[in-house]
Structure 1
């Protein structure tokens, strides 16, 4: 009996060893199969590492392509997503609190949004494959999500000149995504992000209820001190002008609940100097256009602060957003001739004051109120 028991245990141990040796290849086959079967995307993974003690597996070298931009051997294709390492694991901290949830850590990812000829596809349809892929790769509900040193690019190779606008050194941390709201705290989850773009900085702070049926969140974000000279390819391609100097800033707040939202976007440009009379272009219409753009910018510039800006209020429902363009025009005039808009987040929008309808203010009220 002892001999038989020893043999049985030996066989079990041997099978476990063999299973452990082949497990990475099994998981690799499964992941590559899931990537190959997506409708709008395709991709591949180079390798899989298994960490059984930690309850995790690590994807090494993942590449995802949009099918409408991919060639047969991927040589001329721009990948939609690449990442050297994705770590999917059980979150042990939450396990000690009685919850079986997952943690996702993505190191040095690069996300490319490439302008495509196919403009009629809805974003919701285009991203459904990726949501399904994440669910397949991580069967547990994700409670913590982290991105380290990522990049996001917008690329348009059909423009002239070609455009590549980016945010780099992007760090994102989302926590408590599976928490139910408690009394006094309707937004139990958090998301923070920061990054670098053209010498400027990006910061985002969100409190949300990730389990709500409708988007429910308080958000504020700011982009500060972006050097517009670095964006000259973008300005030439879409605005047909370029700049010698300029600093772009943007401040925004939004709140949402029960299918409705409210917020504003406040863009400000400081020390703008537009290129004019460029003889190398040799195009009289180009020269006239740049002169017109420069003259308009000078007209609506606050001379004291050397600043052009406005504030665009957006509210209503996600299906029927309402943009208050009249107020935005009035605030351009206010910034130029009366009082410069404040280069900061106003802390005026939150989930508790969403019911207060802002609407279009009267002309003089918008000009002379003390806000903004």
Structure 2
């Protein structure tokens, strides 16, 4: 009897493990069946997804070589996805080596069925031809089916997005100087505003990237990605050591030539339906060489650009819901020039060792005056100092400007003198003082140049020049000698600048450029300019 009870006990005790084993075995079998079935689903789903994406997109085509759908995690993984512009298919505008979307299980507890998406090492490629084709397209970007194509990949709304090791490349006219963002990472959470829905910016995001090799940038902020008509963002931005030479091809189209230079900046931006602000706490540019090139064949284009800049400046000036501020801007160790290319004759006026400091610059009149201080060497030798105080346009330009140039070696101006006066010099210095005040649509001021110890004709230097040209330069030198201040041995003249502005709507810097340009080129050949011109005509 004792043995029978022990035997039955072992039997009853052993029945439980068998049931558990049976249940576990069934579950494993089901998992295996689901796992195997998912592979049979992959190819039909891949073809369907690729087809739906291509049907959604306008002007672009998709190639999807691999797709895997996991029934267990309700996730989908895409490998090798490429998107190409039909007009310019090479290179593809986007490549996604690995893209995975799945249910964001943690939000199930919040009663929300949303997804998360991860992209590893995606690459974006855009060149100038592709960009121009897109700009010329009659179909707006938002109507090209991107949202529908995206939904064809995964039906759930994405609430968490992670991007790692991304790259963005833009190639302009020079394919040897691509603009590249590398090692780009982005994480954005709560995109669907599940949490903190009452907040203006319920979502948080972080972006970090290397810029053109040596530069670096970070953006930390919050956003409302569901805001209408466009997403709203508030973020802090920091840029460090961004090389500027990469922008040369693009600036060339605006008559600008740039070499070298690095940019650093930090500030914050806010963009929403009711307010747009951009506040740069610090913006610095170091070691840049920048020239503006003027030529007759580009004169019309230059004028059109100037009108666009003028119009844009007028539109943003004192606009209530747009606040643009630069608290401190510095340009250091720069070489800034103006190159006039006329009929093969190139004249470059420049300021070397230039340092410019600008504080409290804003588009709002209520912010008070901005103040600027400039120093450098005009034509590499003339010690230059300038100060300016100005306000954004309110009732017309409002500016106080003072400039002083001392001891410029005249031989450095020979290209200018040959082009505009048909003579050159062998010795002497040039100095200049100017003061301008713009207010209430009037200008008052003066420009006063000084020429000291100027020597126009040198028999040894000019021995290879024609006889009549030598006589001409002797006459010019003689006229300058007659006009010299005997006590200081210098030629000086003063041009007063006063009167109403021709166009009260002209913006401040356009007025400054026009006044300085016109007055300088007239005053640089002082009171003997008329005599020089007359002699040149008789010669």
Give the TM-score category using the shorter length: 0.5 to 0.7
Q: Tell me if structure 1 keeps the 8 A contact 2:58–2:144.
A: no
Unaligned runs of 5+ in 1: 1-11, 71-76, 277-282, 314-323, 340-357, 366-372
Residues 1:15 and 1:107: Cα distance change in structure 2 (over 3 Å): closer
Q: Which residue of structure 2 aligns with residue 168 of structure 1? A: 182
Q: How many residues align?
A: 303
Matches within 5 A, 1:180-195: 180=194, 182=196, 185-195=199-209
Out of 78, 83, 90, the position equivalent to 2:103 is: 90
Matches within 5 A, 1:145-164: 145-156=161-172, 159=173, 163-164=177-178
Shift of 1:78: 1.2
Matched, 1:78 2:91: yes
- TM-score norm. by structure 2 comes to 0.48
Unaligned runs of 5+ in 2: 1-29, 293-338, 375-385, 401-539
Distance in 2 (alpha carbons) for counterparts of 1:210 and 1:84: 26
Shift of 1:139: 0.9
Q: Tell me if structure 2 keeps the 8 A contact 1:47–1:60.
A: yes
Out of 16, 38, 48, the position equivalent to 2:67 is: 48
Q: Which residue of structure 2 aligns with residue 9 of structure 1? A: none
Q: Tell me if structure 2 keeps the 8 A contact 1:206–1:218.
A: yes
Residues 1:67 and 1:265: Cα distance change in structure 2 (over 3 Å): farther
Out of 187, 201, 209, the position equivalent to 2:224 is: 209
Matched, 1:22 2:40: yes
Greater strand content: 2
Distance in 2 (alpha carbons) for counterparts of 1:50 and 1:254: 40
Cα deviation 1:298-338 (Å, max 9, x = unaligned): 66x32xxxx6899675xxxxxxxxxx7x999x85x626466
Distance in 2 (alpha carbons) for counterparts of 1:89 and 1:66: 28
Residues 1:33 and 1:161: Cα distance change in structure 2 (over 3 Å): closer
Shift of 1:261: 3.0
Residues 1:86 and 1:123: Cα distance change in structure 2 (over 3 Å): farther
Q: Tell me if structure 2 keeps the 8 A contact 1:202–1:221.
A: yes
Q: Which residue of structure 2 aligns with residue 319 of structure 1? A: none
Out of 236, 239, 243, the position equivalent to 1:227 is: 243
Q: Which has the higher contact order (CA 8 A, sep 6+)?
A: 1
* 2:62 partner SS: strand
Residues 1:57 and 1:63: Cα distance change in structure 2 (over 3 Å): same
Out of 269, 285, 296, the position equivalent to 1:269 is: 285
Q: Tell me if structure 1 keeps the 8 A contact 2:166–2:182.
A: yes
Matched, 1:140 2:156: yes
Shift of 1:113: 2.5
- TM-score norm. by structure 1 comes to 0.67
Out of 191, 200, 204, the position equivalent to 2:215 is: 200
* 1:217 partner SS: strand
Q: Which residue of structure 1 aligns with residue 372 of structure 2? A: 334
Shift of 1:216: 2.8
Distance in 1 (alpha carbons) for counterparts of 2:190 and 2:108: 13
Out of 110, 113, 136, the position equivalent to 1:100 is: 113
CA RMSD of aligned residues (A): 4.1
Q: Which residue of structure 1 aligns with residue 58 of structure 2? A: 39
Distance in 2 (alpha carbons) for counterparts of 1:210 and 1:186: 11
Distance in 2 (alpha carbons) for counterparts of 1:238 and 1:247: 20
